[in-house]
Chains A and B, each alone.
Chain A
């Protein structure tokens, strides 16, 4: 009996928090049929926002993948002074509010800050431009790849790599032919997770982008701006697109997860 009531509570909770809002979005998106939805989604501003989102998310995921693999190997395979500090710093983005991250980036890379000024003198704008948005997105999704692969690296141990060395492989060959294949599913999982986080990021990007329509507007910023300007149909359509992407990523994650540990 207790089990059943617990289930009812859990489902009701999820119904009001998750299912109902998403369902209403779907319903509102298609309230006037498929035509208006498609028009809203293919409007120049929406398409541009989608392109900006990809321009920001893809470099961020690539950067986090390279950095994540490097740092995970450093944390798992090496013992050095400051290792614990590094490990704690990696998790910082999970604790700090994205808005704070955005503000901090402006203070360092803004036009009137030393580093930002140096770049501005050379014609490169970081803040209120794509580079700053990429930086902000990298920051908020920093720990995801590291934390996905570190436990797997720990589990496989170093002996396979050592065996490869004694068989004549250089460190790079051992890394490419032995380490990477051994962590590939964890790496894929971490990358998908990071991609989902990058596509959905709002706070940090909102601060550093300046939300310039048709210039630095990502899909999430587009939703917010359209909604504020009473263009509900566009907001609903873009929200629906984001939700579909999120569900697709979740399914992908579910597909990748059980493969972990087999073979």
Chain B
């Protein structure tokens, strides 16, 4: 388990982390999610030992590692921009940690080959990083981090520098890899879709504080605040409270608890239809199925009745 207790970190006047406490269970795949400048990368770097906290402690697997240097922590770290050793071949990059640990040549070769197979880079072993694509370089960086069998694998916006298609592939691949390797993994992202798709548990951070910790479902269904709710998915306001647009039910006839709305615009996005309307002059939007939209035959200027589908996805606190 990784345990951060009351961690504070300031950069000059800027409070990057304020009294952050969180437990990350062994073997989990956890996302640190939040807007940029929220402190998530700082927390990750403090866990790795690349930054020292101003106060508070970090425990890794029961041992206090707050003052331990990064080389003794046995963590694997993957950087957004790969941090590939440009003057070394792919195989030497992956074998670097083992060479530092003075393992035998045969052992290094064997382990490097295993890892290159794991990240599907076998045929690139003798290439240099400059000859690889971004996605390949990041897989190499991951193999390099895994080679030393770290207790903890830390990834700082690992797919942030890649284009959308490669990013999607690597996400699914990281999920499968974690299912095979089971190393405790923490990755930083500002992309809620990425966090929801890949992680078992999500730590939402903003303004240097932890906003909520939970599984993707818990966070989506029972957000602790308006901030978490709006960060994790689309929201709209009805009667002064935040609701998910897909939790709004539209009907042609007035029903209990429904309010009248005037349709402004109907946009078809494939299977989904987005309905923009106003309730008492306030804009609102609902997400309905194509089937439902056809049944109602909505046109701009029509009046519809809107209510929230219960159980409502509204903030608990």
| A-binding segment of B20-28, B74-82, B167-175 | B74-82
Which residues 249-263 of A sit at the B interface, judged by CB distance below 8 A?
262-263
Choice from A166, A173, A181, A182 contacting B77 with Cβ under 8 Å: A166
Total A-B residue pairs with C-beta atoms closer than 8 Å?
72
Q: Is A121 an interface residue (CB 8 A)?
A: no
**At the interface, is chain A mostly helix, strand, loop or mixed?**
helix
| A242 at the binding interface (Cβ < 8 Å) | no
In the complex, A168 has a CB within 8 A of chain B: yes
- Chain A residues numbered 67-121 whose CB sits less than 8 Å from any CB in chain B: none
A165 and B71: CB pair below 8 A?
Answer: yes
Query: Is A12 an interface residue, CB under 8 A from the partner?
Result: no
Closest B residue by C-beta to A178? B85
A184 to B147, CA, bound (A): 27
**A166 adjacent to B100 (CB under 8 Å):** no
Contact of A159 among B48, B69, B75, B81 (CB under 8 A): B81
Residue of B nearest to A160 (CB): B83
> In residues 52-83 of chain B, which contact A (Cβ within 8 Å)?
69-77, 79, 81, 83
User: Which B residues are CB-close (under 8 A) to A166?
Assistant: 48-50, 70-71, 73, 75-77, 145
Closest beta carbon of chain A to B146's beta carbon, Å: 11
Interface check A14, CB cutoff 8 A: no
- Residue B130 interfacial (CB < 8 Å): yes
Chain B residues closer than 8 Å to A51, beta-carbon distance: none
Closest 3 CB pairs of A and B: A167-B97, A159-B83, A163-B83
B positions within 8 Å CB-CB of A? 48-50, 69-77, 79, 81, 83-88, 96-97, 100-101, 128, 130, 141, 144-145, 147-148
Please give 5 more A-B residue pairs, beta carbons under 8 A apart, in addition to A160-B86, A168-B97. A160-B84, A166-B71, A166-B75, A167-B96, A169-B71
Interface positions of A (Cβ within 8 A of B): 156, 159-160, 162-170, 173, 177-178, 181-182, 184, 262-263
